[in-house]
Amino acid sequence: MDQMKIINIKLFYFYPNTAKNLLLCRIETDNGLYGWGEAYVVLGKEKSVEQYLIGIGEHLVGRDPFAIRHTVAAMYNDFAARRGSADFFSAISAVEMALWDIVGKYVGQPVYNLLGGPSRERVRVYANGWYDVSFGDDDSPDGMARRAIRVKKMGFTAMKFDPFMRSPWRNVITKQEEDAAVVMVRTIRDAVGPNVDLLIEMHRRLSPFYAIRFADRIVQYNPYWYEEPCIAENISLLKQVKDAISFPVVAGETMYNRYEYLSLFESNAVNIINPDVCSCCGITGLLDIATMAEPHHILVSPHNYNSTTVALAATVHVSAVISNFLIAETFVNLKQVCDDVVKQPIIIDNGFIDLPKSPGLGIDFDLDRLNLYPYQKVKKQFPVKSVAQYQDEFPKKDDFIYVE
């Protein structure tokens, strides 16, 4: 049998009309097989990831798709000169999962069977993105509660949200911001009842003092976890919070390879990690990190601020295999438009996804439909996250106007 070779990589720019832009790639081989990958992108930095994919793509031609680990290592060592970045790791993640898709199709097996086989029949997922404006209502506690009830009616038993909503990400919070966030958690808990898991997202914003004080105030509402209360690059800050509160601390979405996770594990600074398959060197990257976490009794909950197509499929395949899996993320506000561009949408049933039976990742696109959403060609862009002026920073006079 002739050895299969990579002959091309194509990029697809997906504007889903909500949340953020998405960047997909398709790697093609000389025998007609192709595989899909997806890179993690943030607003305003899509072009940097695109350029990495273009540069990496030049070195893929002629390679064996089966040589997945060597390809990833060689790109890091030689192409990136061991100078990794979030954008590089996101690009190589897309390439890596596309290669697994090809290999799975070649041997006629779903990817999870090639990773050691399933450890569970289905994968539990939680809802994020449900507080997007597309779900209606406003950002008030009552408006958020109504949205949360809709998510519960969709069958989800777990949902994540940032109770500080549109507040800037800073180490300090005002009394008004903290009080409003407590009301937000309480109102959503009252709306959904005691049997829905509430995952509290903090977006790396607080110093340990404020993070611990806020955790103490919401513990009565039975939060499922506390995600990135402090910046993860300073592991000692996370450990201060983890050692002081009584519910789990999560971190890891801003770590992109196993070297970065090593210190996190050795410091015993978290209970749960949330690496993203689209930015942590792909499927084998996520699998390696999960394996490293297991001896430390740390659970894995894959982050997935990506599409509900390739990224969610890849997340499901890895989640099916790892023994220390907890729950995975999905963005419900992206589901409708993502379902519109794939041939067989991923089905979420009461907060669970059954393992796919199709070879590879089990995802393929209707290119005619996908090409209706090309954010570069039609010049559609989301506004880039605003950057504060010095006049906007704390403390401001209005921060100390209290209503008795």
Tell me the pTM. Answer: 0.94
The letter for the amino acid at 164 is F
Phi-psi region of 301 (alpha: psi -120 to 50; beta: other; left: phi over 0): beta
Whether residue 390 is predicted with pLDDT greater than 90 in this model: the reply is no
Whose structure tokens read 């509660």?
145
Number of H helices and E strands in the chain, helices first, is: 13, 12
Query: Is 350 inside any structural domain?
Result: yes
Look up the CATH number of the domain holding residue 309.
3.20.20.120
Return the DSSP state at 108: T
Handedness of CA 392, 395, 399, 401 (dihedral sign): negative
- Determine the average pLDDT of the residues in 208-220: 98
Query: Is 64 inside any structural domain?
Result: no
Helix (H, G, I), strand (E, B) or coil at 381: coil
Question: Distance between CA 315 and CA 304 in Å, rounded?
Answer: 8
pLDDT band at 202 (very low <50, low <70, confident <90, very high): very high
Give me the chain's average pLDDT, please.
93
Query: Is 53 inside any structural domain?
Result: no
Full domain range(s) for residue 252? 113-361
Q: What percent of the chain has pLDDT over 90?
A: 83
Report the Cα–Cα distance between both ends of the chain, in Å, rounded. 80
State the total domains in the chain: 1
Question: Distance between CA 354 and CA 316 in Å, rounded?
Answer: 9
CB neighbour list of residue 332: distance below 8 Å, 6 or more residues apart: 127, 128, 129, 130, 151, 154, 156
Burial class from Cβ neighbours inside 10 Å (0-12, 13-18, 19+) for residue 313 reads: buried
Query: Is 370 inside any structural domain?
Result: no
- Determine the average pLDDT of the residues in 97-105: 98
Closest CA to 39 of 338, 287, 310: 310
Residue 395: cis peptide before it, omega within 30 degrees of 0 = yes
pLDDT band at 384 (very low <50, low <70, confident <90, very high): low
Query: Is 223 inside any structural domain?
Result: yes
Strand locations in 135-238, DSSP E?
158-161, 197-201, 225-227
pLDDT band at 166 (very low <50, low <70, confident <90, very high): confident
List the beta bridge partners of residue 27.
Answer: 9, 35
Query: Is 168 inside any structural domain?
Result: yes
Helix (H, G, I), strand (E, B) or coil at 23: strand
Query: Is 98 inside any structural domain?
Result: no
Looking only at the bridges linking them, the beta strands covering 249-251 and 22-29 are unpaired
Q: Are 276 and 289 in contact (CB under 8 A)?
A: no
Phi–psi pair at 91, nearest 5 degrees: -65, -45
- Determine the average pLDDT of the residues in 203-231: 97
Q: pLDDT tens digits, residue range 304-327?
A: 999 999 999 999 999 999 999 999
Catalytic annotation, residues? 203, 303
Q: Are 339 and 135 in contact (CB under 8 A)?
A: no
Question: Distance between CA 394 and CA 179 in Å, rounded?
Answer: 17
Query: Is 247 inside any structural domain?
Result: yes
CB neighbour list of residue 202: distance below 8 Å, 6 or more residues apart: 162, 164, 211, 226, 227, 228, 229, 230
